[in-house]
Amino acid sequence: MPKYIIHLYVTGQTARSHHAAANLRRICDAYVGGSYELVLIDVLAQPDLAEAARILATPTTVRVAPLPAYRVIGDMSDSSKVMMALGLDVKDLGSGKEIS
7-17: per-residue pLDDT in tens?
A: 999 999 999 89
pLDDT at 95: 43
Cα–chain-centroid distance for residue 1? 17
What does pTM read for this prediction?
0.81
Residue 17, SS3 per DSSP: helix
Domain assignment present for residue 75? The answer is yes
For residue 55, is it within any domain? yes
> Does 98 map to a domain?
no
At 96 the pLDDT is 40
Within-domain flag for 97: no
State how many domains the chain has. 1
Q: pLDDT for 30-60, tens place per residue?
A: 888 778 899 999 999 999 999 999 999 999 9
According to the model, what pLDDT value does residue 54 have?
93
Containing 5, the helix (H) or strand (E) segment is strand 4-10
Return the percentage of the chain with pLDDT > 90, whole number: 34
pLDDT at 99: 36
Domain holding 53, by residue range, is: 4-91
Distance CA 41, CA 37 (A): 13
What's the pLDDT at 34? 78
